[in-house]
Amino acid sequence: MAFLTNRLRNNPLGLQLRGQLWFYTKFPFNPKSSDVRSGTYFGCKSRSGKLRKKICLARNFGSGEIPSLFWLSISPRNLVKNLRFSLIISSVFLIVSFSFSGCKGKKKEDSKDLDKIALSYASGFTISRGNDYWQLEVIQAWTGADRIFTYLVLEENAKKPAGDFDAIIQLPVDKIILTSTTHIPHLDMLNANEKLIGFPNLNLISSDKTWKQIDAGKVEDLGAGPSANTEMVIDLAPDWIMISTLGDDLKYLDLLAQAEIPAVINGEYVEQHPLGRAEWIKFTGVLLGKYEEAKLAFEQVENDYLEAEKLSNSIVDSLRPTVLSGVLYQDIWYAPGSESWGAKILQNAGGNYIFSDQKGTGSAQLNYEFVLENALEADFWIGSADFPDLQTMGNAEPRYKAFKAFKAGNVFSYTQRRGRAGGLEYFELGYMRPDLILKDLIKIIHPDLLPAYELYFYQQLHEKK
């Protein structure tokens, strides 16, 4: 009992036991504190989705309070009594949990029931198909992820197969929530915009199709913070919510699970092949019941990318212009690592990236002196943040004026297209359309290879008029 008491005092989430039974035990106050809130706590569900009962949501009682496994009324008068009762119940379930953990069945891995679908470029997820269901596995949700997330997508009227899943989605779906603008193009290309019912900070969206839904009052703004408003998400009761691992939404996975809202993780940003991120549309396609449409959409992007790449493949190194990228921020120059998504597209476009020796898939952090020494004579400067013109750029950081590319006006930024609320389309559509980025870069550094092509994302910076 002392062990349980200490665990409850030291762990703000109380005991979190996971076996065949899955639950929280949570006290919404310090027993020694006078700040006691009244409330009723209940709810029980198994990890497999059976034994489901209604979950009492946090907003129904007090700030910081979440459901408990068992019915329990809290009031200042019966505080001690209920605390003892809670510890007894927790002790019982601790024993039961250990008993279940010894006989819990392993996840069914029958290759005869599942056919794995080959992916061409993406390495962060897998797709497998059964007779009337799909299985998705996110094997690299973020850089260095040490666990696999498994999702089951059931066709209409299908029965759940054996196994444990992080979320179960039942097709067809009518209501979904997204949390990253990079997911919006999937809806555009799959003609599924009408399914979107919520998104955090609508002003970031560029898609015209999605704005039609917003204007019609069919999409709720889930707030402008670092994560979607969880209470609003639960109120909207979507068929599923897609979470980007770049935001803060991951911390709400357990709460969403308690509310029986399937939450699926999208780790597209971890992919470093230019077409790897685009291939995640197949992941979304399965979740929407539109895998074949997603496959065709990706194949079109893939073909366009590979055709453009052929144009620059034959360019010898001596004819590849040198290219500088990145900007200064708080006296540190941030530039794409040579193994990053952006650097690879630049290489495929026939450029000679100045920082090709800076290994890594993220941003290289360099000092100004190093950049000046190595990139002073670079022919082009591509990816110069979102400055609108050279004068604004030079005034923001006078040291930029020393570079040859700046003096020659060969500075290009990805600011040509903005959504109606000001969001840059490059950040929304770029993952899904690397073919357009590649064509833009070819047009900039080898304009003779695409004489009739007009820049889509990028524009050349000029002196302020």
DSSP symbols for 196-241: EEEES-GGG---HHHHHHHHTT-SEE--SSSS--HHHHHHH--SEE
Whichever domain contains 196, its CATH number is 3.40.50.1980
**434 contacts 345 by C-beta, under 8 angstroms:** yes
pLDDT confidence band for 53 (50 / 70 / 90): very low
- For residues 172 and 44, state if they share a domain: no
pLDDT for the residue 348 = 96
- Stretch 324-345: mean pLDDT: 95
Enter the tokens of residue 462.
Answer: 């000029």
Enter the tokens of residue 144.
Answer: 């260095």
Residue 308 lies in a domain: no
Phi, psi (degrees; rounded to nearest 5) at 340 = -80, 165
- pLDDT tens readout for residues 201-224: 999 999 999 999 999 999 999 998
Residue where one domain finishes, among candidates 266, 301, 336: 301
Residue 124 lies in a domain: yes
Residue 306 lies in a domain: no
- For residues 325 and 345, state if they share a domain: yes
DSSP string of 51-108?
A: S--PPPPGGGS-TT----SS-EEE-GGGHHHHHHHHHHHHHHHHHHHHHHHHHPPPPP
pLDDT for the residue 35 = 36
Residue where one domain finishes, among candidates 236, 269, 301: 301
Q: Residue 408: CB partners within 8 Å, gap ≥ 6?
A: none
Bridge partners (DSSP) listed for residue 117 = 127
User: pTM of the predicted model, to two decimals?
Assistant: 0.77
- Looking at the structure of the chain, the number of domains it has is 3
Task: Taking the CA atoms of 381, 387, 392 and 394 in sequence, report the sign of the dihedral they define.
Answer: negative
- For residues 231 and 363, state if they share a domain: no
Residue 180: CB atoms within 10 Å: 22
pLDDT confidence band for 314 (50 / 70 / 90): confident
Rounded to the nearest 10°, the torsion over CA 307, 309, 314, 320 is 150
Residue 235 lies in a domain: yes
- Give the residue carrying structure tokens 């979950």: 55
Determine the 3-state secondary structure of 43 from DSSP: coil
**Among 241, 287, 257, which Cα is nearest to 125's?**
287
- For residues 326 and 280, state if they share a domain: no
Bridge partners (DSSP) listed for residue 169 = 153
- For residues 150 and 296, state if they share a domain: yes
- For residues 288 and 347, state if they share a domain: no
β 72-74/39-41 pair status: antiparallel
pLDDT confidence band for 144 (50 / 70 / 90): confident
- Stretch 178-188: mean pLDDT: 97
- For residues 454 and 320, state if they share a domain: yes
pLDDT confidence band for 464 (50 / 70 / 90): confident
Write down how long the chain is: 465
**Among 26, 64, 24, which Cα is nearest to 44's?**
24
The helix (run of H) or strand (run of E) holding residue 257 is helix 253-258
Q: Residue 32: CB partners within 8 Å, gap ≥ 6?
A: none
pLDDT tops 90 at residue 108? no
- Stretch 402-429: mean pLDDT: 96
- For residues 320 and 454, state if they share a domain: yes
pLDDT confidence band for 249 (50 / 70 / 90): low
- For residues 147 and 279, state if they share a domain: yes
By residue range, what is the domain housing residue 81?
Answer: 2-103
Q: What angle do CA 374, 379, 382 make, to 5 degrees?
A: 90
Residue where one domain finishes, among candidates 301, 336, 361: 301
Q: How far is CA 324 from CA 93, 304, 374, 398, 452, in A?
A: 61, 26, 9, 17, 25
Residue 279 lies in a domain: yes
- For residues 227 and 356, state if they share a domain: no
- For residues 293 and 325, state if they share a domain: no
Residue 108 lies in a domain: no
- For residues 203 and 160, state if they share a domain: yes
**Among 290, 221, 267, 310, which Cα is nearest to 431's?**
267
